[in-house]
């Protein structure tokens, strides 16, 4: 029998390493949808913090390691360093219009 549930992945970039800090960036990947993913369409994050995602049933599966930066590099802005991966499982949804 085929596994009926599909994984959904939520990536939240937070302002600090604390799960209750504000979201500053995000991505959602939905394995339960047959729709083609479209990124960058939403102007607001689906959650205000990582803690809000946990309270809504998302499971934290990975957090970025806290890395000590060399002197003079503490304020580099070329990447978002507080990245958290969440998952939840959902039943597949049909493509709209099918």
Q: Does residue 82 contact residue 8 with C-beta atoms inside 8 Å?
A: no
Rounded distance between C-alpha atoms, residue 61 and residue 68, angstroms: 22
The residues, ordered by sequence, that sit 6+ positions from 25 with a Cβ below 8 Å of its Cβ are: 12, 13, 45, 80
* 58 occurs within a structural domain: yes
Please provide the average confidence, as pLDDT, over all residues in the chain. 82
Q: Does residue 91 contact residue 5 with C-beta atoms inside 8 Å?
A: yes
* 76 occurs within a structural domain: yes
Number of domains in the chain: 1
Its domain, for residue 52, covers 6-90
22-52 confidence digits (pLDDT tens): 999 998 888 877 777 666 667 889 999 999 9
* 96 occurs within a structural domain: no
* 35 occurs within a structural domain: yes
pTM: 0.74
* DSSP letters spanning 10-50: EEEEESSSSTTSBEEEEEEEETTB-SPP--S--SS-S-SBH
CA 54 to chain centre: 11
Identity of the highest mean pLDDT range in 2-6, 9-13, 60-64, 80-84: 9-13
**Nearest one of 33, 89, 18, 15 to 59, comparing CA atoms:** 89
């Amino acid at each position: 029998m085929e596994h009926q549930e599909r994984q959904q992945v939520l990536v939240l970039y937070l302002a600090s390493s604390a799960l209750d800090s504000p979201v500053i960036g995000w991505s959602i990947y939905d394995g339960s949808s047959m729709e083609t993913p479209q990124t960058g369409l939403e102007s607001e994050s689906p959650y205000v913090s990582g803690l809000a995602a946990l309270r809504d049933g998302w499971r934290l599966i990975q957090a970025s390691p806290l890395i000590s930066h060399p002197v003079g590099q503490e304020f580099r802005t070329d990447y978002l360093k507080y990245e958290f991966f969440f998952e939840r499982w959902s039943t597949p949804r049909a493509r709209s219009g099918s």
